[in-house]
């Protein structure tokens, strides 16, 4: 049996989601860990989240991860991402209002 290579999702919607996730993690790290560059823990979370988005089985038809029936994050990362989103979500309106509005419209 041949192994099937899976192509990463690089569509417009997935790229927007990746940028929003990047911004949320950067904001979280800056405010909570007091770093101007991502700390090791936040860098690990960012890389994991971007990888999961790249290989999301729903591709361009994906909904917000919180509304998804398939939880593709390992529990450790899911817990960390929830904390990031819970903290960064309200701040995004102040620091990145355009991303926030676009994200809310895509739900």
- Would you state the structure tokens that stand for residue 94, as one six-digit string? 């102040």
- Distance, in Å, from the CA atom of 48 to the CA atom of 72, rounded to the nearest integer, reads 11
Give the pLDDT of residue 5.
58
Return the number of other C-beta atoms located less than 10 Å from residue 6's C-beta: 9
**Would 64 be classed as within a structural domain?**
yes
Question: What is the structure's pLDDT at 58?
Answer: 81
* Prediction pTM value: 0.84
User: Is position 27 within any domain?
Assistant: yes
pLDDT of residue 40: 97
What is the DSSP track for 51-67? HHHHT-TTGGG---GGG
Domain around 99: 12-105
The pLDDT, as a whole number, for residue 107 is: 54
| 34: alpha, beta or left? (left if phi > 0; alpha if psi -120 to 50) | left
In a domain, 2, yes or no: no
Write down the residue that tokens 């979280």 correspond to: 28
Tens digit of pLDDT per residue, the chain (107 long)? 555 557 788 888 889 889 989 999 999 999 999 988 999 999 999 999 999 999 888 878 877 777 777 788 999 999 999 999 999 988 888 888 887 777 677 65
Total count of domains within the chain: 1
Q: Does residue 67 lie in a domain region?
A: yes
Q: What does the block give as tokens for 71?
A: 């939880």
């Amino acid at each position: 049996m041949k192994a099937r290579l899976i192509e990463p999702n690089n569509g417009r919607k997935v790229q927007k989601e990746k940028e929003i996730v990047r911004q949320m993690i950067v904001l979280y790290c800056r405010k909570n860990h007091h770093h101007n560059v991502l700390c090791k823990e936040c860098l690990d979370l960012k890389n994991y989240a971007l990888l999961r988005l790249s290989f999301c089985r729903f591709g361009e038809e994906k909904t917000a991860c919180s509304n998804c029936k398939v939880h593709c994050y390992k529990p450790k990362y899911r817990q960390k991402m929830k904390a990031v989103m819970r903290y960064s979500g309200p701040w995004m309106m102040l620091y990145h209002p355009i991303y926030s509005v676009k994200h809310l419209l895509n739900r």
